[in-house]
Amino acid sequence: MTIKSLLIFDFDGVIIDGMDEYWSSSCKACQKILNKNSQFIDLPTQIPKAFRQLRPWVHHGWEMVLIAAEFIRPNSSLKNEGFESFSKHYSAKCSEALDFWQWHPKQLQNALDNVRKESIRTNPTDWLSSHKPFPGIADRLNNFKDEGIDIAVLTTKGTTFTAELLNHLNIKITFLFGHESGSKINVLQHLVSNHNIKGFIEDRRATLEEVIKTPDLFSIPCYLATWGYLKPNDSKDLPPEIQLLKNTTFSTPLANWNSLARVRLY
- Summarised one tens digit per residue, pLDDT across range 94-149 is 999 999 999 999 999 999 999 999 998 999 999 999 999 999 999 999 999 889 99
* 137 in the same domain as 66: no
Domain that holds residue 163: 5-17+133-259
Report the CATH number that the domain containing residue 174 is assigned in CATH: 3.40.50.1000
* 155 in the same domain as 55: no
* 240 in the same domain as 200: yes
159 CB-near residues (< 8 Å, 6+ apart)? 176, 177, 178, 179, 180, 181
Position 156 confidence tier, pLDDT thresholds 50, 70, 90: confident
* 170 in the same domain as 55: no
What is the maximum alpha-carbon separation in the chain?
Answer: 62
* 148 in the same domain as 103: no
Bigger pLDDT: 67 vs 2:
67
What SS3 string covers 174-231?
CEEECHHHCCHHHHHHHHHCCCEEEEEEECCHHHHHHHHCCHHHCCCCEEEECCCCCC
Position 157 confidence tier, pLDDT thresholds 50, 70, 90: confident
Element spanning 165, H or E: helix 159-168
Torsion sign (Cα): 248, 209, 152, 181: negative
Give the pLDDT confidence score for residue 40 in this predicted structure.
55
Q: Is residue 266 part of a domain?
A: no
* 197 in the same domain as 89: no
Q: Is the pLDDT of residue 68 over 80?
A: yes
Across residues 170-198, what is the average pLDDT? Answer: 94
Bridge partners, residue 202, by sequence? 224
* 142 in the same domain as 80: no
Helices (H), 43-104: 49-54, 61-70, 77-88, 90-101
Q: Is residue 264 part of a domain?
A: no
Across residues 156-163, what is the average pLDDT? Answer: 90
Give the pLDDT confidence score for residue 184 in this predicted structure.
96
> Of 95, 113, 128, which one is at a domain's C-terminal end?
128
Give the pLDDT confidence score for residue 2 in this predicted structure.
60
How much is the pTM? 0.86
Q: Is residue 112 part of a domain?
A: yes
* 178 in the same domain as 200: yes
Q: Is residue 144 part of a domain?
A: yes
Position 263 confidence tier, pLDDT thresholds 50, 70, 90: very low
How far apart are the C-alpha atoms of 29 and 128, rounded to whole Å?
18
> Of 86, 104, 128, which one is at a domain's C-terminal end?
128
3-class secondary-structure state, position 243: strand
Give the pLDDT confidence score for residue 139 in this predicted structure.
93
Give the pLDDT confidence score for residue 36 in this predicted structure.
66
Of 221, 234, 218, whose CA–CA distance to 262 is shortest? 221
3-class secondary-structure state, position 260: coil
* 162 in the same domain as 122: no
> Of 110, 128, 146, which one is at a domain's C-terminal end?
128
Phi-psi region of 128 (alpha: psi -120 to 50; beta: other; left: phi over 0): alpha
* 119 in the same domain as 225: no
Q: Is the pLDDT of residue 3 over 80?
A: no
* 86 in the same domain as 28: yes
Torsion sign (Cα): 164, 168, 169, 172: positive
Torsion sign (Cα): 189, 190, 194, 196: negative
Of 204, 127, 203, whose CA–CA distance to 158 is shortest? 127
How far apart are the C-alpha atoms of 230 and 85, rounded to whole Å?
17
Split into its structural domains, the chain has a count of 2
Q: Is the pLDDT of residue 204 over 50?
A: yes
| Mean pLDDT, rounded, of the chain | 91
Q: Is the pLDDT of residue 90 over 90?
A: yes
